Amino acid sequence: MSARGWDMPADLEKYPATIPDPASTPVPEGLRREIEAHMALYPDSRSAALPALEAAQRLHGWCSPEAIEQVACVMGVTPASLDAVATFYDMLETEPVGEHSVYVCTNISCSLRGADELYAAVRDAAGEDPAFNVRAFECLGACDIAPMASVDGAYVGPLSVEDVPRLLEDARAGREVLPEMQLARRPCADPEAGR
């Protein structure tokens, strides 16, 4: 977990940042358009904070101070209000991270089936690799394929320690990860559900 916010003292010499001035804050055109489109969907444009931060993170790789400032500028809010949001959610990164995310679920159902060993194996293989963002994650809602991981957003499982090298290779190459273990193609367990 990031140490930001809780463990760092506030700089009392510094005034809190105000709403960034659009005249002096360059925002990439694509990002601006995407954020404005989200803002238009809600009765209150502030509801767009999560999709806007997600868009900025996709562009910048993480919710960097620069990314936050750009979102704040388009949304007309203070950077601090967005910082508060970004630090709350597990999927918003407040430190630079690797391009490929590997979230290993280590909650109860997965850990009962070997998730802690799996996570250790993924960490050993890619924890120091700058291309990867390896994290132990809370229940990802796929206990039927435990132990499992979400690799760049795609759910795969049940995984064993032996699958780790191929998983990382596939992710690095940008192709579908372990196609035969993708949740997307798994039939329902209920024998009477049927086709």
Partner 1 sequence: MSTKLLFDRIDEPGLNTLAVYERRGGYESLRKALRMTPEDVLGELEASGLRGRGGAGFQMGKKVSFLPKGSIEKYLVCNADESEPGTFKDRELMQKSPHMLIEGIVIAAYAAGATRSFVYIRGEYVLQADILDAALKEARAKGYVGEDILGSGHSLSLLVHRGAGAYICGEETGLLDSLEGKRGNPRLKPPFPANQGLYQGPTLINNVETLSTVPAIVRMGGAEYAKLGTETSTGTKLVSVSGHVRRPGNYEIELGIPSREIVYGLAGGPPEGREVKCWFPGGSSAPVLTGAELDIPYDFDSLAKAGSMLGSGAIIVVDDSTPILDLALKVAKFYRHESCGKCTPCREGTNWTVKMLERIDCGEATPMDLEIMASVCDHIIGNCLCVLGDAMAMPISSMIAKFRDELEAHIENRRLVAA
The answer to whether residue 103 forms part of the interface with partner 1 (CB under 8 A) is: yes
User: Which tokens go with 88?
Assistant: 């709350």
Residue 139 contacts partner 1 per CB under 8 A: yes
The residues in 153-182 that bind partner 1, with binding defined as CB under 8 A, are 153-155
- Asked if 113 interacts with partner 1 (CB under 8 A), we say yes
Among 37, 41, 59, 131, binds partner 1 (CB under 8 A): 41
Residue 120 binding partner 1, by CB under 8 A: no
For the sheet containing 132-137, what is the strand order? 132-137, 100-105, 149-151, 154-156
- For partner 1, which is the closer residue by CB, 131 or 188? 188
Rg of the chain over Cα atoms, rounded to whole angstroms, equals 20
Identify the CA nearest to 147 among candidates 179, 183, 116, 123.
116
Binding interface with partner 1 (CB under 8 A): 1, 41-44, 46-51, 53-54, 84-85, 88-92, 103, 107-109, 111-113, 137-146, 150, 153-155, 183-184, 187-190, 192-195
